[in-house]
Structure 1
């Protein structure tokens, strides 16, 4: 046998062994749906080189051992989440909603706490003005975390406010995602904040993109949006620190968001989420923040923070959504820019409509991700046949992530209804029971619905074969990615 033939057989054998190793790894990986296992086995078997490379890059939810260890060390150092915001107010919640807050409690250990107040900001510009006003009034601490922070009009306003606060002796800590805010981190504005005395951290640093897969997936990001001022005010919603014009993707503008300003014990839970993120990046113990007395008893609603991510228990956010969908009796309204559900989410949404609940979901008509747009529309037929009302918002990119349930319960935050939010991103939401606030949120959702076009069954059935094939093929990649 010629040397070339021997080499060829050795190469073939090495390739087969490598394929087998990664097939076994895909089969043994925990927290994976059978469809995902099958998809990865098929990819690795049919495209050995590309399949193995794809699996190394995207096959596992790998935050990196070092990152997970730092996060767990931070959580161990901080006071237990269960007791930081006062006693449980579960008894103040109608019995049928108690299981929703128990699901939330299972995620981070946060209890549903009473005495909270909130106000919806009118729009993105007003939200920035409100944040700037609170930062300008800060006396002790300002904590800011954003996935995307742009150096545009809104971004510069918030930066200026943070620098002013630092100049007068307020302790200011800022975290941004290293990929989502890469332009800011590498700009003169970042250096200016540091020189002004602002303490800075870039979450999940990318480093060398070629070496990054050895330490964890490059596309696992901190997608949270958190602002906490003086341990007494917090903001939660979908808005990044940027203008609605959103210069990096201006052709989809305006970006339409929802942001709420909270006061009460819920702020302490948001502070805990921020502190865990900060301490996993910076060697600084923020535990003393939780020794400060809680605000005195005041009237207000019951709320609970839910912070999901790869360092938290598996399937936290999808279980929250499924529980809410299954609890609906009269009406369920959802807005989300990205819809790539797992099977339980799709089944729960369809099941809501089938049992007679008025079920509406609102998407942007033009999505900034053509992959998500195609995948989302592959689910339209089944949703419409089940009785779900689908609307596509025409006034820009609807980026708001909201859910209202029977006019009494609201979920607001950063999480989309897609696999990226469920499995890869760190997210933060607030679940609350309050008919008065939910009426406000439902009114905002109605504004979106009134500016949206209903998607009919006839329209979906009129999709041509090529479009159906494209949508369904893209959706098939969901379990793989």
Structure 2
């Protein structure tokens, strides 16, 4: 089977990590201590629009409108100054954000953008399978390359471990420039080879004007729709090789247009350059941005080369500033002490903290490593729900209904320390309301885990949790 599930990839990571540790080549990194000073008076936050930086007055007016939409929540002013200092990328106004709730909707929108491209297409993905979906994308990209559109593709070496080399050769034979991120073979990777660093981003940019990102890879496991039953799916952890698990995958993506696309373009081209991608013909990578909507968006990319994960620090500041609600949906949950602390502290000050986590997963170890923290979180007042009937792969969150994030980042050590990740932060109650509606739909399909019930779980589950926790750094 072409699809290589997260659990199988995790086993590969652990085997390689153990090998490197045996030779003394891998050292453990630690997450930074990020302590937002929430009491300080934040400096004015400036926004950028289609014509560049907005005036202080215009920036203030937009932020006031966003606050009003959030029923007076002060979450924006309390954490934006820290977020801006941490991330460095600008808040951009005048964008249009469209929530894509499942695989079929995402693939339709992405293929339409590819078909409409006139100048260039940039695609970056962790997994691209040699299946029906992968072939649809391959055919679409080849057709555009033959029409004179420049196509660049970055794929992760581990994520595409089971994708035949012939699949990529067909693309390169058609003239598409294909870049394998951090090849497993050190002879191909160069002197800065870091096996444990992976490109987990999912990004498509067409003509520098429209971008797609989120948690959805290019794979047939999403073909049925992540909010519906399916007769096709991926191979789950614990299954015999080749056996197909019919459980549908639940995931979410987002489509963006407007000035923020240039920020995602910068991140793609930086990755291409850092991985020594081949030189390319000059194209209009940064067309004059246009105001296409009213959404305020920040692009955030993280990599192991940074001093700390920018997405991680941003998430901590947002949760630490929460006043009414923190709603997170995430596929792989193995929190570090700081994330645990901010979640418990938010619940302690009366914030409604709800986590939707998998009830079934393709990674046995990460599943039980996360469950090991349930007792601590439930005692602190955090509400935990496990999504039923699907393999949850979503990575989204909302704070106070006005701060929202969607992207590729999981709530685990791998995402925060070892992966290249990509998220969008959207400010405002309109998009926050859309994401909250999706959260409520997932909540309706979830089972709440109560402290009383959890404390009655059997010894077998407790042993699995302890064993999995010992591996969580490498998961």
Rounded to whole Å, the distance in 1 between the matches of 2:197 and 2:186 is 15
User: Helix, strand or coil: the match of 1:182?
Assistant: coil
Q: Tell me what 2:172 maps to.
A: 194
Rounded to whole Å, the distance in 1 between the matches of 2:281 and 2:392 is 36
Describe the superposition over 1:47-92 as per-residue Cα deviations: whole angstroms up to 9, x where unpaired: xxx8994473543459xxxxxxxxxxxxxxxxxxx99983268533
Q: 1:112 to 1:277 in 2, by over 3 A?
A: same
Rounded to whole Å, the distance in 2 between the matches of 1:57 and 1:252 is 40
Query: Is 1:347 aligned with 2:313?
Result: no
Q: Tell me what 1:438 maps to.
A: 432
TM-score w.r.t. the length of structure 2 is: 0.80
Query: Is 1:223 aligned with 2:200?
Result: yes
Say whether the 8 Å CA contact 1:107–1:312 is kept in structure 2.
no
Rounded to whole Å, the distance in 1 between the matches of 2:49 and 2:278 is 24
Say whether the 8 Å CA contact 1:107–1:313 is kept in structure 2.
no
Say whether the 8 Å CA contact 1:394–1:452 is kept in structure 2.
yes
Q: Tell me what 1:86 maps to.
A: 52
Q: Tell me what 1:79 maps to.
A: none
C-alpha displacement of 1:98: 4.0
Task: Pick the aligned partner of 1:116 from 95, 99, 103.
Answer: 95
Say whether the 8 Å CA contact 1:107–1:308 is kept in structure 2.
no
C-alpha displacement of 1:278: 1.2
Q: Tell me what 1:41 maps to.
A: none
Unaligned segments of structure 1, at least 5 residues = 1-49, 63-81
Q: 1:218 to 1:345 in 2, by over 3 A?
A: same
Q: Tell me what 1:322 maps to.
A: 316
Rounded to whole Å, the distance in 2 between the matches of 1:467 and 1:402 is 27
Rounded to whole Å, the distance in 2 between the matches of 1:383 and 1:369 is 22
Rounded to whole Å, the distance in 2 between the matches of 1:291 and 1:239 is 25
The two structures, once aligned, show a CA RMSD in angstroms of 2.8
Q: 1:479 to 1:118 in 2, by over 3 A?
A: closer
Number of aligned residues: 410
Query: Is 1:142 aligned with 2:136?
Result: no
Q: 1:396 to 1:368 in 2, by over 3 A?
A: same
Larger gyration radius, structure 1 or structure 2: 1
Rounded to whole Å, the distance in 2 between the matches of 1:103 and 1:333 is 21
Unaligned segments of structure 2, at least 5 residues = 1-17, 31-47, 68-73, 223-231, 237-243
Rounded to whole Å, the distance in 2 between the matches of 1:217 and 1:84 is 38
C-alpha displacement of 1:189: 2.1
Rounded to whole Å, the distance in 2 between the matches of 1:207 and 1:136 is 35
TM-score w.r.t. the length of structure 1 is: 0.79
C-alpha displacement of 1:318: 2.2
Q: 1:315 to 1:190 in 2, by over 3 A?
A: closer
* Higher mean displacement: 380-389 or 412-421: 380-389
Task: Pick the aligned partner of 2:183 from 205, 225, 231.
Answer: 205
Rounded to whole Å, the distance in 2 between the matches of 1:107 and 1:286 is 34
Query: Is 1:158 aligned with 2:137?
Result: yes
Rounded to whole Å, the distance in 1 between the matches of 2:84 and 2:252 is 24
C-alpha displacement of 1:139: 0.6
Q: 1:160 to 1:102 in 2, by over 3 A?
A: farther
Task: Pick the aligned partner of 1:333 from 327, 331, 342.
Answer: 327
Rounded to whole Å, the distance in 1 between the matches of 2:178 and 2:365 is 34
Say whether the 8 Å CA contact 2:257–2:292 is kept in structure 1.
no
User: Helix, strand or coil: the match of 1:159?
Assistant: helix
Q: Tell me what 1:172 maps to.
A: 151
Rounded to whole Å, the distance in 2 between the matches of 1:469 and 1:236 is 37
Task: Pick the aligned partner of 2:212 from 235, 252, 262.
Answer: 235
Rounded to whole Å, the distance in 2 between the matches of 1:346 and 1:333 is 14
Rounded to whole Å, the distance in 2 between the matches of 1:447 and 1:115 is 29
Query: Is 1:458 aligned with 2:452?
Result: yes
Query: Is 1:277 aligned with 2:261?
Result: no
C-alpha displacement of 1:99: 5.2
Query: Is 1:59 aligned with 2:27?
Result: yes
Describe the superposition over 1:399-427 as per-residue Cα deviations: whole angstroms up to 9, x where unpaired: 00000111211100000000000000000
